[in-house]
Amino acid sequence: MSQQKTDSEPGINSSLITLFLCGDVMLGRGIDQLLPHPNEPYIHERWIRGYVRSLKSSRILLLLLLLRHLLPDRVIYKGYVKSARKFLELAEKAHGSIQQPVDFSYIWGDAFEELQRVAPDLRIINLETSITKSDDYWKGKGIHYRMHPENIPCITAAKIDCCSLANNHVLDWGYSGLLETLETLDRANVKRAGAGRNAEEAASPAVMEVAGKGRVIVFSFGLKTSGIPAVWAASQDKVGVNLLKDFSDETVHYAKEKIQKVKQKGDIVVASIHWGSNWGFKVYPKQRWLAHKLIDEAGVDVIHGHSSHHVKGVEVYKERPIMYGCGDLINDYEGISQSYGDFRKDLGLMYFVSSDPASGKLAHLLMTPTQVKRLKVNRASRKDALWLKDTLNREGKKLGTQVELSPDNTLTLVW
């Protein structure tokens, strides 16, 4: 199905519901230090210091990738970083000094103009950061992300409507840190899903009304394949995340039960799923199986997948979009030696998904290429947009999709 330029496109008045979706938004460490109210910079971080430059063998790289997949955030570290400001310093070393503190809107950079241009009905992100002053870092975990609660205006400045929280960093600063995250988002009137004070709250969706069009319901699910510790799962009397046990019929039944209690005719249901390792383009059969089952049996209309630090292929199954890995939109990895250079961790996409609430079918998917530079979102260059086009076409060929690059450097999905 080749998409033509019609009134089905985002930004044009129609009955379609357009969602802005993106992958990981990481607002801790160097980003937090850049903002007006940073936490104390001390961190407890085991870090790989320039190991890529010392690699002489592809076998060593393959071993490191394997270890990173099996034990996320915990292995092959050669040193320690004690201050979150180190990541800010690395970014400045790479692309020039940044006048500090920045205003709350700074980190969104060119994304502001793009959001205004497309004018999505709702804005949904995967917030991969605890919002807290807590010092109760999770012992034995190699990386900990936190943003000071007084920096919450950086989320509201971009008019973010909903944060998906079922990921492997929301509990980095302990149960008290997660509780403070929930309270901070609630005070800011930002909807959330995927974490809560108990299992029932963690599994509850964010329900949002789009005036004159219908409702969007966001469920947030996490899987252990993304590095979420099993102990982080919320229970009847314990704060935690909405962690799915595995890729099984039982899991599908659990999701179906939750979704069908809420979904009404005309609703668009989004399953925001944190799954898979940080690196690698491969979409595993079990991921496709689960995505298809959630669409076939649970009534999901949009699969919003994330965890990979780079974009992955997109599939359209029964006229429903499946983004297997949305990459990172905001992070502080700039200046860190280019480990996994083939994946271009600095590049990302802003996804604008337009669906028909009457049928749940995808009408249009527009993607805007971005690059993190000077710790903010920038429009990607033509060269980088071409790299993303080629990458999505290579990976999409296996999934039955392609993208077309427009003169304005936006990508349109064709299926």
pLDDT at 336: 81
Q: For the residues 296-311, what does the mean pLDDT come to?
A: 97
How would residue 53 be classed by pLDDT, with cut points 50, 70 and 90?
very low
**CATH code: domain of residue 389:** 3.60.21.10
pLDDT above 50 for 101:
yes
Whether 61 is covered by a domain: the verdict is: no
Whether 236 is covered by a domain: the verdict is: yes
Whether 213 is covered by a domain: the verdict is: yes
Whether 59 is covered by a domain: the verdict is: no
Q: Of how many residues is the chain composed?
A: 415
Whether 53 is covered by a domain: the verdict is: no
pLDDT at 49: 42
Q: pTM of the entire structure?
A: 0.90
> pLDDT, tens digit, for every residue of 272-290?
999 999 999 999 999 999 9
How would residue 2 be classed by pLDDT, with cut points 50, 70 and 90?
very low
- Two tokens, residue 396: 């999409």
> pLDDT, tens digit, for every residue of 311-367?
999 999 999 999 999 999 999 999 886 555 588 889 999 999 999 999 999 999 999
Q: Count the domains in the chain.
A: 1
The residue range of the domain holding 113 is 17-42+84-414
- Two tokens, residue 130: 């605890």
> pLDDT, tens digit, for every residue of 139-169?
989 899 999 999 999 999 999 999 999 999 9
The answer to which of 74-88, 156-170, 341-355, 388-402 has the lowest mean pLDDT is: 74-88
pLDDT above 90 for 12:
no
pLDDT at 6: 42
Whether 3 is covered by a domain: the verdict is: no
Whether 34 is covered by a domain: the verdict is: yes
> pLDDT, tens digit, for every residue of 186-242?
999 999 999 999 999 999 999 999 999 999 999 999 999 999 999 999 999 999 999
pLDDT above 90 for 84:
yes
- Two tokens, residue 327: 């990459």
Whether 199 is covered by a domain: the verdict is: yes
Whole-number mean pLDDT of the chain?
A: 90
